A and B are shown apart, each in its own frame.
Chain A
Amino acid sequence: MAGLELLSDQGYRLDGRKATELRKFQARMGPFAQADGSAYLEQGNTKALAVVYGPHEMRGSRSRALHDRAVINCQYSMATFSTAERKRRPHGDRKSTEMSLHLKQTFEAAVMTQLYPRSQIDIYVKILQSDGGNYSVCVNAATLAVIDAGIPMRDYVCACTVGFVDETPLADLCYAEESGGVSSLALALLPRGGQIALLQMDARLHQDHLETLMEAAMTACKGVSKVLDEVVRQHLREASMLTRE
């Protein structure tokens, strides 16, 4: 909607958050017992479901198996009811493929694939409701799912989308902000070492602002990592309590 102020003079965004505040985070691990690992994540109104199968034998062509590492196979899809207008989304369209590729690159950096040569790990992520920051929510959900599956990772992979408005970086953009012409940057981080797994931006940004924006993204990702950590520990506690009782 044209004319809405993305950042008011008093520092409030469209939905009442301040510039550095994240959206409300809710996560559940292991909602599907059928898969090896699964996670359901809500970040604000963006809801994603991630499911992990693996590590298992290579399905399909054996020739694609790598002799020393596991192959990670990601698939990203959006539900037809995920946006405000119902849209038919064929699976092979360009956007899904690009996102799948990005996810694959991200997790290849984090998962310790050397432990499973000649096998395959499948990660499927589906967006159930899309309200901005799709990629980041997918990465977070997939992290939880991979942890739920018990696959060893170097570190959590936390992702966040940040934008730049009026010389201020905004963390965790929602859909109204993303479509309001904000230069947005998506960052996937391994927080403990501060290593960047993926950085994506396709808007125009002045060179001087890149530093500040990346700093803000890293801070936001570290915040996300704390929440993810909390979710995992809580899940463990419940799981252990239930088994004890």
Chain B
Amino acid sequence: MRGVIGVNRVCFALITDKKTRLYEQKSLSLNGVWTQWEEIALTSRRHDDSRHAGFRFAALRIVYKRANRFRRVGMIKTEKVLHLRSCRGRRVRVVREHYLREGVPCFSSLCQAGCANDGKLLPADLTHYLVPDAQVVLSFLEILELRELRGLVFTQTAAQALQSKGRRYYSRLRSLLRDRRHDCVLFANEFQAYSYCPREKGETQESWQTRCVYSAAVWYFNHLAGMMNVVMITEDEDAVARYSSLNSGVYVVSVQDYLQNFWPELQAAHDLYGSISQALQEKEAEGSQKEYSEHLPAEILEAGIKSGRYLQGSLAVSKHRAQSEAFLTPGSSSKSAATDLSGGVLVHGGRNRNRAVHGDAVAVELLPPSEWRGKVTALTEGQGEEKGGEDGERKPMPTGRVVGILQRNWRDYVVTFPSRDGSQSQSRSSQRILAVPWDRRIPKIRISTQQADALQDHRVVVRIDSWESTSLYPNGHSVRVLGRAGELETEVQTILVENCIHVPPFSDAQLRELPVSSPERPWTVAPEEAGRRRDLRRSHLVFSIDPAGCEDVDDALSVRSLDGGRLLELGVHIADVSHFVAEGSLTDLEARSRATTYYLADRRYDMLPPVLSGDLCSLLGGVNRYAMSVIWELDAESLAVRSVWFGRSLIRSSYQLSYEEAQALLEGRAPPPEGDTQLVPALETLTRVARHLRAQRDRGGALELEGVEVRAQLDQHRNISALVPRQPLEVHETVAECMIQANHWVARKVQEAFPSQALLRRHPPPRQELFGPLVDTARARGFTITTSTNKALAESLDRAVDPRDPLVNRMLRMMATQAMSQALYFSSGSESLDQFYHYGLALDRYTHFTSPIRRYADVVVHRLLSAALELDRDQAPDLDQDKALELDRDQDLDQGSPKLDRRALVRARAPASNKELEETAHHINSKNRAAQRAQQLSTSLFQCLYFRDRDPLTDPHCVADAVVYAIRDNGLLVFVPEYGVKGAVYLRNREGQVVAAAAADGRCEWQSGTVRRYADHITTTSSCGCCTFSLFDHVTVRISVLPSSCHANTLNLELISSRPPPGPGGPPPAGPPPGRGQAARQVVQEVVRLAEEAQQGAPSPPLPPEERPFLQSPPPNLHSLLEEIRELALLDPALLDLDGPRGQRSAQAQRAT
């Protein structure tokens, strides 16, 4: 009878007490006992008297309905009561439904209950699973992001608490959950019927969240039948006391105890915990005085932007006047047509900047026109000091002030703790230091730390937490210490961190995924794979031409004649990286996040592990390798392309040549290899075909120019043994042209197969206003440069040669490079067809395909090409794989299949959607930009190191010839060709003195006088007389290093003579290429001598053994000078690297554009 009474009681509860919750609580404790209820309910109906019959019957009907619902759908409905504030400020009570179910999956590989687990699962080989509390996730997310912490279960409660903190943090959590390299999952504990805890009356939000998380932890332990211990970490002391003994197997500890007991050796976690908890404790009100005005709330900002009252854009702080000037480039949808905002909006002064940091997306309100100011165009005297006067300002430009921040884009910053004089207090308690960031555009950051004394003059990585309106500076916490400022390793790490380049060593898990190839068990071709590929080992002569000493050979060529000499077959074979790197594998994820190989002045960080990049993927000579091939059939006479074949192949490269060897073979200076009659004719045919293709492109207006480099010869220890200047060889041209053609044809294929889901590369035409300085400068010398099309530009640059001074043409080409826009990757569905054009190469479609070992975009294109080939195979199965596809095959295929099906098939087969490809392209573009910046910074780092150890007054190397290329109000901008250094030379210093040149030998000194600037020259007048400097004048400068403790060292150029210096450092003689080669070799020999002296003189810092493989020799070294020589290359007329104004400097990068 107890059951019956139970039923009655329950039913009473139902009818009299409308709170369904009570009912649910009782029912929840019985797991799956519904059938019993049903039977008891029915029997009781029969036995009771009629007085209660109807009453009970009604109740039982509802029980039955609920039972059925629970069995059928498996969900229970509860309600959540929330108290919200409406937009008008009134408090509103809102009731929301909340559905609970049993089938919420646990995402653990230990699950025995048959949960629908798919996707990422928690591994089974751990000692415990970690369940962090909501407050822990809010405050210490950075610690949880460390990869060493595995088996993390994030509860939905914690994730929702994080959502309230900000969208950035929540998206960080989401990307953490999606990333397969982190072992963490999200458990929807609020929807799981057995772990849901309704909020009790009078319970605070935090304690309710803790209770929810604890109940989720208990559920987890029970669900896995006690096979895995569960540890919950929380900062709440009461919770620890209350819950830690309730359930064995579920441990509740505080964060500090957890880290100390479970991860005693993980120093990074301990450091982070210390600094973050310090920062949290220090969060008291700084003072009631408001330094800045409050930001407007988000709704008002959105409304203002829509109505045009506020402008939206990204804030860019001026590099030279970081304290006073910042610029906003408004987004495309700015509605105010009254003012012309194409030049940007100036935000002047710290108060108007209102706590916006460089890179944030802000909303700006324009000030009335009477308050507009102008941009200062003088050179800054001293860095970062606000000049009181307003001299040198041009006409006023639109000025505004920041009213709100739309999106904070804070990253990790490197700061230096300033050295303190002994007058500071010596207390060991925490101190708040104003640390100076390495990047001048970031304001000082307040860090509270207990190690202020120990960290003097050290570089530290910090993160900004917040910037209150009551504080002049933002608050932050430290993450890790890089080392002492000024040491080489610290400076290189600073460069990497400042450019967001993360290159940790490859993890063991990743290396385990890869095939092993050792001398005892070398890797061999798998027979089934050989069956799937076209075997070119016996039929084709394949060879590769690369820089000497190159290990990662990603491309090889082959040429042969067919059909009795009427047809030529040209083949380009690229390393088949996509076969070894499966999509979604750990290697793929790591390569995607790196996106490219990073070349710094003294080291290289590879995108792929060395087993792939140096061995299995690299098309070394004499071994079988997998490749992806593009084979063209050309008519032997007209060299027109008859057909093209794409596919996977198996090759065996016969010869691994260097450029010099290939050129020597072509010219007959070296004998062909033993017993071979085909190599030299093949090279000759190749050269002829390449010349023809290049001429075709030139007719279209290609701007590509050759590169001159100095190649380092490596001995067996991979140290540089000699610097050999490389003439611009024809064979460079040939290889480059073949690669460009391969890229172009693959772009065509991939774009035709997936019209809106292909990864391509485009080079937008430069903006005409950027050509202003070039055209003006050229006009000063009497040359006209037409910039309307790329063809016109190339021709006018070729004509602008001054026979007296070849440097003029080089400078003009340098300035043309400055005006060029960057080439970038994009997804073909995001741009219209006319935007696909590559300006520099004069091709309508282009992509990167030929270097998958060092560029991730090429790997993506390889996958796209494979998918396109599969699509063809499925659509037209009768087409034989070996049969070359005709050029007009598109019509055949389209007629066969209905259009709608094909579109759907294409969309389904594409490896990635348009949105994903666009994100990938965006990611790769930003990583490439970061790589270029890091390269430039490391070059200038080594330049400074080179000059730091030389006394500027006595060392003759510090005096060099310089060419004036631009004029400013109080000085000149000059270029030093010998070292490839650009810098500013002041004609008026801080005390008001000007440079005056003695008429006799041009020697300069400081005297009082005036400076007058004209359109193309600048004159200083003093007691010695007048001295004029015009564009393209040669002067002599002394190079020294301006040391800076908190920022990067810079080179300081001082004018010592208005005449060029005498001696071999003077302008190289003009003339045809042989003469130029002569001069280049002279300079190179000079520099080689310098470098040898440098090597003997400079102390080389001790290198840890793991660094050695990356270095070619201890820095400062010949390799760093190599980069300086590369700037030298800019002086040659036939030289521009068009992947950007600076371009990728490495030799391998030279070939593919």
Shortest distance in angstroms between B274's beta carbon and chain A's nearest beta carbon? Answer: 31
Q: Is the CB of A16 within 8 A of B92?
A: no
A9 CA to B84 CA, complexed, in Å: 26
A10 is an interface residue with CB less than 8 A from chain B: yes
Q: What are 14 of the A-B contact pairs (CB < 8 Å)? A: A3-B167, A3-B170, A9-B186, A10-B188, A16-B75, A16-B98, A16-B100, A16-B190, A21-B75, A21-B99, A24-B75, A45-B95, A84-B93, A84-B94
Provide the residues of chain B in CB contact with A85, threshold 8 Å. Answer: 86, 90, 92
Provide the residues of chain A in CB contact with B177, threshold 8 Å. Answer: 9
Decide: A174 near B191, CB < 8 A? Known: A1-B84, A2-B298.
Answer: no
A76-88 toward B: CB 8 Å interface, digit per residue (1/0)? 0000000011000
Q: Is the CB of A44 within 8 A of B97?
A: yes
A176 is an interface residue with CB less than 8 A from chain B: yes
Shortest distance in angstroms between A208's beta carbon and chain B's nearest beta carbon? Answer: 11
Which of the residues B84, B99, B167, B178 comes within 8 Å of A15, measured between beta carbons?
B99
Provide the residues of chain B in CB contact with A16, threshold 8 Å. Answer: 75, 98-101, 188, 190-191
A15 CA to B76 CA, complexed, in Å: 11
Within 162-206 of A, Cβ neighbours of B (below 8 Å) are at 174, 176
Q: Is the CB of B96 within 8 A of A176?
A: yes
Within 60-108 of B, Cβ neighbours of A (below 8 Å) are at 61, 69, 73, 75, 77, 79, 84, 86, 90, 92-101
Within 12-68 of A, Cβ neighbours of B (below 8 Å) are at 12, 14-17, 21, 23-24, 44-45
Provide the residues of chain A in CB contact with B685, threshold 8 Å. Answer: none
Q: Is the CB of A12 within 8 A of B92?
A: no
A123 CA to B79 CA, complexed, in Å: 31
Shortest distance in angstroms between B51's beta carbon and chain A's nearest beta carbon? Answer: 14
Provide the residues of chain A in CB contact with B90, threshold 8 Å. Answer: 85
Chain B interface extent, by class: 20 to 34
Q: Is the CB of A17 within 8 A of B99?
A: yes
Provide the residues of chain B in CB contact with A2, threshold 8 Å. Answer: 298
Provide the residues of chain A in CB contact with B993, threshold 8 Å. Answer: none
Chain B residue at minimal CB-CB distance from A23 = B97
Provide the residues of chain B in CB contact with A15, threshold 8 Å. Answer: 96-99
A98 is an interface residue with CB less than 8 A from chain B: no
Q: Is the CB of A9 within 8 A of B191?
A: no
A21 CA to B188 CA, complexed, in Å: 17
Which of the residues B75, B92, B99, B190 comes within 8 Å of A84, measured between beta carbons?
B92
Which of the residues A1, A4, A24, A238 comes within 8 Å of B77, measured between beta carbons?
A24
A23 CA to B75 CA, complexed, in Å: 10
B380 is an interface residue with CB less than 8 A from chain A: no
Shortest distance in angstroms between A39's beta carbon and chain B's nearest beta carbon? Answer: 17
B163 is an interface residue with CB less than 8 A from chain A: yes
Decide: A4 near B98, CB < 8 A? Known: A9-B174, A10-B186, A85-B92.
Answer: no
Give the one of A4, A9, A23 with max B CB within 10 A: A9
A215 is an interface residue with CB less than 8 A from chain B: no
Chain A interface extent, by class: 20 to 34
Shortest distance in angstroms between B517's beta carbon and chain A's nearest beta carbon? Answer: 39
Q: Which residues of A contact B (CB under 8 A)?
A: 1-5, 8-10, 12, 14-17, 21, 23-24, 44-45, 84-85, 131, 174, 176, 238
Chain A residue at minimal CB-CB distance from B105 = A10
Chain B residue at minimal CB-CB distance from A85 = B92
A14 CA to B170 CA, complexed, in Å: 16
Chain B residue at minimal CB-CB distance from A2 = B298
Provide the residues of chain B in CB contact with A84, threshold 8 Å. Answer: 86, 92-94
A9 CA to B99 CA, complexed, in Å: 17
A23 CA to B61 CA, complexed, in Å: 20
Within 266-317 of B, Cβ neighbours of A (below 8 Å) are at 298
A44 CA to B94 CA, complexed, in Å: 14
Which of the residues A4, A24, A131 comes within 8 Å of B163, measured between beta carbons?
A4
Provide the residues of chain A in CB contact with B98, threshold 8 Å. Answer: 15-16
Shortest distance in angstroms between A133's beta carbon and chain B's nearest beta carbon? Answer: 12
Decide: A12 near B96, CB < 8 A? Known: A1-B84, A21-B75.
Answer: no
Provide the residues of chain B in CB contact with A4, threshold 8 Å. Answer: 163
A45 CA to B93 CA, complexed, in Å: 14
A15 CA to B75 CA, complexed, in Å: 12
Q: Is the CB of B97 within 8 A of A174?
A: yes
Contacts A21-B99, A174-B97 supplied; 6 other A-B pairs, CB < 8 Å: A3-B167, A10-B188, A23-B77, A131-B95, A131-B97, A176-B96
Provide the residues of chain A in CB contact with B93, threshold 8 Å. Answer: 84
- 8 closest Cβ pairs, A-B complex: A16-B99, A16-B191, A24-B77, A15-B97, A84-B92, A84-B94, A44-B97, A17-B99
Provide the residues of chain A in CB contact with B61, threshold 8 Å. Answer: 238
A176 CA to B80 CA, complexed, in Å: 13
Within 180-221 of B, Cβ neighbours of A (below 8 Å) are at 186, 188, 190-191
Chain A residue at minimal CB-CB distance from B100 = A16
Provide the residues of chain A in CB contact with B298, threshold 8 Å. Answer: 2
Shortest distance in angstroms between A116's beta carbon and chain B's nearest beta carbon? Answer: 34
Shortest distance in angstroms between B157's beta carbon and chain A's nearest beta carbon? Answer: 13
A176 CA to B92 CA, complexed, in Å: 14
Shortest distance in angstroms between B910's beta carbon and chain A's nearest beta carbon? Answer: 15
Chain A residue at minimal CB-CB distance from B50 = A245
Provide the residues of chain A in CB contact with B100, threshold 8 Å. Answer: 16
A23 CA to B77 CA, complexed, in Å: 9
Provide the residues of chain A in CB contact with B95, threshold 8 Å. Answer: 45, 131
Provide the residues of chain B in CB contact with A24, threshold 8 Å. Answer: 69, 75, 77, 97, 99
Give the one of A4, A15, A23 with max B CB within 10 A: A15
A2 CA to B75 CA, complexed, in Å: 27
Provide the residues of chain B in CB contact with A44, threshold 8 Å. Answer: 77, 97
Shortest distance in angstroms between B15's beta carbon and chain A's nearest beta carbon? Answer: 14
B36-63 toward A: CB 8 Å interface, digit per residue (1/0)? 0000000000000000000000000100
A84 CA to B73 CA, complexed, in Å: 29
A17 CA to B77 CA, complexed, in Å: 10
A204 CA to B99 CA, complexed, in Å: 29
Provide the residues of chain A in CB contact with B94, threshold 8 Å. Answer: 84
A231 CA to B167 CA, complexed, in Å: 44
Shortest distance in angstroms between B196's beta carbon and chain A's nearest beta carbon? Answer: 9
Shortest distance in angstroms between A202's beta carbon and chain B's nearest beta carbon? Answer: 20
Provide the residues of chain A in CB contact with B84, threshold 8 Å. Answer: 1
Provide the residues of chain A in CB contact with B96, threshold 8 Å. Answer: 14-15, 45, 174, 176
Shortest distance in angstroms between A175's beta carbon and chain B's nearest beta carbon? Answer: 8
Shortest distance in angstroms between B171's beta carbon and chain A's nearest beta carbon? Answer: 11
Chain B residue at minimal CB-CB distance from A241 = B57
B1087-1118 toward A: CB 8 Å interface, digit per residue (1/0)? 00000000000000000000000000000000
Decide: A12 near B188, CB < 8 A? Known: A23-B97, A44-B97, A85-B86.
Answer: yes
Provide the residues of chain B in CB contact with A3, threshold 8 Å. Answer: 163-164, 167, 170
Shortest distance in angstroms between A90's beta carbon and chain B's nearest beta carbon? Answer: 21
A16 CA to B103 CA, complexed, in Å: 12
Give the one of B77, B174, B298 with max A CB within 10 A: B77
Chain A residue at minimal CB-CB distance from B107 = A10
Shortest distance in angstroms between A18's beta carbon and chain B's nearest beta carbon? Answer: 9
Shortest distance in angstroms between A173's beta carbon and chain B's nearest beta carbon? Answer: 12
A167 CA to B577 CA, complexed, in Å: 33
A58 CA to B978 CA, complexed, in Å: 104
Provide the residues of chain B in CB contact with A14, threshold 8 Å. Answer: 96
A14 CA to B174 CA, complexed, in Å: 17
Q: Is the CB of A5 within 8 A of B190?
A: no
Chain A residue at minimal CB-CB distance from B77 = A24
A181 CA to B207 CA, complexed, in Å: 33
Provide the residues of chain A in CB contact with B163, threshold 8 Å. Answer: 3-5
A16 CA to B74 CA, complexed, in Å: 12
Shortest distance in angstroms between B90's beta carbon and chain A's nearest beta carbon? Answer: 7
Shortest distance in angstroms between A235's beta carbon and chain B's nearest beta carbon? Answer: 11
Shortest distance in angstroms between B148's beta carbon and chain A's nearest beta carbon? Answer: 24
A12 CA to B103 CA, complexed, in Å: 12
Shortest distance in angstroms between A62's beta carbon and chain B's nearest beta carbon? Answer: 45
Shortest distance in angstroms between A198's beta carbon and chain B's nearest beta carbon? Answer: 26
Chain A residue at minimal CB-CB distance from B913 = A167
Q: Is the CB of A45 within 8 A of B186?
A: no
Provide the residues of chain A in CB contact with B86, threshold 8 Å. Answer: 84-85
Q: Is the CB of B97 within 8 A of A12?
A: no
